[in-house]
């Protein structure tokens, strides 16, 4: 196969590991900056151009779409899909997962455990919104935030009201969530590929911090999931339509509660914490899809000579 990694930075750990894994299994692999791709749309002849060339020989792609270019990156993935190229994640599922509100709504509809979440448009409803999630302390999140950016813990109702009003005043869309005290600054990331958890780690926030993101100084270690945690992670990825996903969960007295389902989860933290080759699991999935696609191709009918009648 010829595999393209859609990434704006070829030097990132995740991008390099995917290239290594693909090449080690005998595939040709290139890195394409999806922000520099452009599409051609015409009847029966969709195309993608990159650096002045018409790209026609890609068998599969692995989207590594950053939050800042979700719209454009998803459009490029969608164009590859129109051209019948296999994708590690569908374009629609990527856009779905990036919208935190939509993600929560889908997971709720699927009956999966979540922190109580509120969403409103005006400051006139702030008091009821705070009460809806169980009062302070509570967590306030920007809908567009990533890696813990735009996430605030408000420890009192007064502080929560001030932060919410400030965000609304700046024209930001936010979610308000209950604070899960028993999690004690830890969460679990389960890495799901093709309906199976291929690795899991527990992340712990640094002292004085409630966000456990590794980018915020958190630490990670391998963890053995409970049956319920494993089932929840797989069900969350399925509900979102993601073949490859990082499912973040909080341990709670009500069972695992899903914080986020990430369509472009990083490989560095989980591979180092678990000592597992997650990148190769992704390549193996593409191989299975490619083989299935080959089997579905129409077989050329052989001409059978009619037996002569004696």
Kindly report the CATH number assigned to the domain that includes residue 73. Answer: 3.40.50.20
What local confidence, expressed as pLDDT, does residue 89 receive?
Answer: 97
**Residue 52 and residue 121 in one domain:** no
CATH code: domain of residue 131: 3.30.1490.20
pLDDT tens-digit map of 240-259: 999 999 999 999 999 999 99
For residues 277 and 21, give the distance between their C-alpha atoms in angstroms, rounded to a whole number: 9
In this prediction, residue 230 carries a pLDDT of 97
Average pLDDT, the chain: 89
Per the structure, how many domains does the chain have? 3
Q: What is the pLDDT of residue 293?
A: 92
CB atoms within 10 A of CB 122: 8
Does one domain contain both 7 and 60? yes
> Would you place residue 304 in the very low, low, confident or very high pLDDT band (cuts 50, 70, 90)?
very low
**Is 221 a member of any domain?**
yes
Q: Do both 196 and 274 map to the same domain?
A: yes
Do 20 and 7 touch, CB atoms closer than 8 A? no
Q: Residue 174: its pLDDT value, please? A: 83
> What pLDDT is recorded for position 129?
87
Helix (H, G, I), strand (E, B) or coil at 244: strand
Average pLDDT over residues 283-308: 75
Q: What is the DSSP letter of 154?
A: E
- Residues 6/63, Cβ–Cβ less than 8 Å: yes
Cis peptide before 72 (omega within 30 of 0): no
Residue 142 CB partners (closer than 8 Å, separation 6+): 149, 150, 151, 167, 172, 173, 174
Residues 50, 36 contacting (CB under 8 angstroms): yes
Written as six digits, the tokens of 114 are 């979540």
Q: How do 174-178 and 151-154 pair as beta strands?
A: unpaired
Tell whether 104 is covered by a domain: no
Residue 298: pLDDT band (50, 70, 90) is confident
Is 50 in the same domain as 129?
A: no
How far is residue 112's CA from residue 235's CA, in Å, rounded to a whole number? 8
The Cα-based distances of 218 to 147, 184, 198, 202, 203 in angstroms read: 11, 13, 22, 10, 6
Model confidence at 192: pLDDT above 80:
yes
Residue 101 lies in a domain: no
Whether residue 15 is contained in a domain is answered as yes
- Structural domain that includes position 153: 116-179
- 26 and 51, same domain (yes or no): yes
Q: What is the pLDDT of residue 302?
A: 44
Inter-helix orientation angle 91-98/227-240, to 10°? 110
Let me know if residue 305 belongs to a domain.
no
pLDDT in tens, 1-32: 999 999 999 999 999 999 999 999 999 999 99
Q: Does the residue 235 lie in any domain?
A: yes
Residue bearing the bigger pLDDT, 212 or 6: 6
pTM: 0.87
Question: For residues 86 and 90, what is the distance between their CA atoms, to the nearest angstrom?
Answer: 9
């Amino acid at each position: 196969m010829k595999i393209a990694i859609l990434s704006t930075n070829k030097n990132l750990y995740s991008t390099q590991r995917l290239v290594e894994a693909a090449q080690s299994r005998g595939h040709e692999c290139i890195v394409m900056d999806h922000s520099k791709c452009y599409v051609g749309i015409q009847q029966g002849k969709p195309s993608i151009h990159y650096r002045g060339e018409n790209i026609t020989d890609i068998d599969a792609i692995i989207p590594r779409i950053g939050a800042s270019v979700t719209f454009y990156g998803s459009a490029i993935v969608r164009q590859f899909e129109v051209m019948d190229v296999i994708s590690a994640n569908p374009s629609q599922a990527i856009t779905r997962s990036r919208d935190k509100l939509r993600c929560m709504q889908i997971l709720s509809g699927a009956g999966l455990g979540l922190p109580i979440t509120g969403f409103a448009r005006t400051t006139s409803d702030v008091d009821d919104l705070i009460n809806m999630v169980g009062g302070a302390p509570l967590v306030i999140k920007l809908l567009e935030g990533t890696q813990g950016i735009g996430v605030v813990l408000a420890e009192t109702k007064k502080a929560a009201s001030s932060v919410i009003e400030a965000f609304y005043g700046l024209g930001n869309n936010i979610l308000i969530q209950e604070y899960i005290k028993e999690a004690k600054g830890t969460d679990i990331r389960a890495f799901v590929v093709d309906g199976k958890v291929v690795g899991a780690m527990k992340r712990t926030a640094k002292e004085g911090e409630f966000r456990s993101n590794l980018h915020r100084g958190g630490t990670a270690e391998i963890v053995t999931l409970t049956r319920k945690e494993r089932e929840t992670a797989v069900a969350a990825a399925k509900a979102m339509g993601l073949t490859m996903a990082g499912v973040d969960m909080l341990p709670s007295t009500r069972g695992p509660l899903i914080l986020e389902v990430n369509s472009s989860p990083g490989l560095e933290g989980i591979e180092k914490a678990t000592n597992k080759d997650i990148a190769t699991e992704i390549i193996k999935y593409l191989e299975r899809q490619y083989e299935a696609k080959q089997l579905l191709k129409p077989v050329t009918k052989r001409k059978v000579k009619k037996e002569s009648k004696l």
